[in-house]
């Protein structure tokens, strides 16, 4: 598929989770080796800790050293930027985040996910101001941003038009409560699969895993899956797109198994 499709990265949220020991991680694996082990089985991990507070530059350097070539992290942007009434005032928080050492990840840095509270409603002017604050490039390196919105007021063509203008995608959230928006607006797609079950060893039944793997391929080849909900009728230009997909559900014990099953299906 080289040249005809983007890369597909599949992973989980974080790597430190006690119930994974003896289920995903081998018994007696040292906790210090869990990231390296997870990165040997997956192709990406979404880091949640950056949402709650700053990390140190040496932490980013250490994480980058412990994963193989081709592996990427996505990072959650800080809540101090997104959990505010006036998003246009988030500039200092965004700046501090990037000055905290994020770029120390080097080529292991993938998209930054800016996640909004379920109570945050769509204000076109203010949200546009927020998107303006997101740096497109730092130290000669292109940066990727994605937004996760969780209020139904965002289900409007005006929101999709705004995202297209800034070339910032919206997370496709497979979730029981939050809106599912599958409009493609940029050169990559970001999906969070949140309906898995710990009662199933592979997190999702085989048919659902097959369906997701097919959707990932469609996105990577520049198309849009016909079975996911879109807000706007406009179709994007067909270009290869990278795909970032994370298996995340409430219990999350079986999330790594689901991610590994998906990786196997797209090989």
pLDDT tens readout for residues 53-93: 999 999 999 999 999 999 999 999 999 999 999 999 999 99
pLDDT surpassing 50 at residue 2: no
Residue 1 resides in a domain? no
Q: Which domain holds residue 39?
A: 8-266
Give the separation between CA 93 and CA 109, rounded to whole angstroms.
Answer: 19
Which residues have C-beta within 8 Å of that of residue 189, sequence separation ≥ 6? 169, 172, 219, 241, 242, 243, 244
Instruction: Please state, in angstroms and rounded to a whole number, the distance separating the CA atoms of residues 160 and 28.
Output: 48
Q: What is the mean pLDDT of the chain?
A: 96
Predicted pLDDT at 3: 56
In Å, what is the CA distance from 77 to each residue of 53, 82, 234? 9, 8, 29
Residue 7 pLDDT class (50, 70, 90 cuts): very high
Structurally, the chain folds into a number of domains equal to: 1
pLDDT tens by residue, 115-165: 999 999 999 999 999 999 999 999 999 999 999 999 999 999 999 999 999
Query: Has residue 1 got a pLDDT over 50?
Result: no
Q: Is the pLDDT of residue 260 over 70?
A: yes
pTM of the model: 0.96
Q: Is the pLDDT of residue 236 over 90?
A: no
What CATH number is given to the structural domain containing 128?
3.20.20.410
Q: What percent of the chain has pLDDT over 90?
A: 95
pLDDT of residue 235: 85
């Amino acid at each position: 598929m080289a040249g005809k499709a983007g890369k597909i990265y599949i992973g989980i949220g974080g790597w430190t989770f006690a119930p994974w020991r003896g289920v995903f991680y081998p018994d007696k694996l040292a906790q210090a080796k869990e990231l390296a082990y997870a990165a040997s089985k997956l192709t990406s991990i979404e880091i949640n800790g950056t949402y709650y507070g700053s990390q140190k530059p040496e932490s980013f350097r250490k994480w980058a050293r412990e994963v193989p070539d081709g592996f990427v992290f996505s990072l959650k942007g800080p809540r101090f930027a997104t959990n505010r009434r006036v998003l246009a005032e988030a500039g200092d928080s965004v700046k501090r985040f990037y000055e905290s050492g994020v770029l120390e990840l080097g080529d292991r840095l993938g998209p930054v996910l800016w996640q909004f509270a379920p109570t945050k409603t769509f204000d076109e002017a203010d949200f546009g101001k927020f998107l303006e604050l997101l740096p497109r490039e730092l130290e000669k390196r292109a940066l990727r941003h994605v937004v996760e919105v969780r209020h139904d007021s965002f289900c409007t063509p005006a929101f999709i038009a705004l995202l297209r203008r800034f070339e910032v995608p919206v997370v496709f959230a497979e979730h029981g409560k939050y809106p599912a928006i599958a409009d493609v607006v940029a050169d990559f797609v970001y999906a969070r699969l949140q309906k898995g079950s710990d009662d199933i060893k592979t997190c999702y039944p085989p048919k659902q895993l097959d369906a997701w793997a097919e959707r990932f391929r469609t996105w990577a080849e520049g198309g849009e899956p016909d079975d996911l909900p879109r807000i706007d009728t406009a179709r994007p230009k067909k270009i290869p797109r990278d795909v970032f997909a994370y298996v995340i559900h409430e219990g999350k014990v079986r999330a790594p198994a689901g991610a590994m099953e998906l990786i196997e299906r797209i090989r």
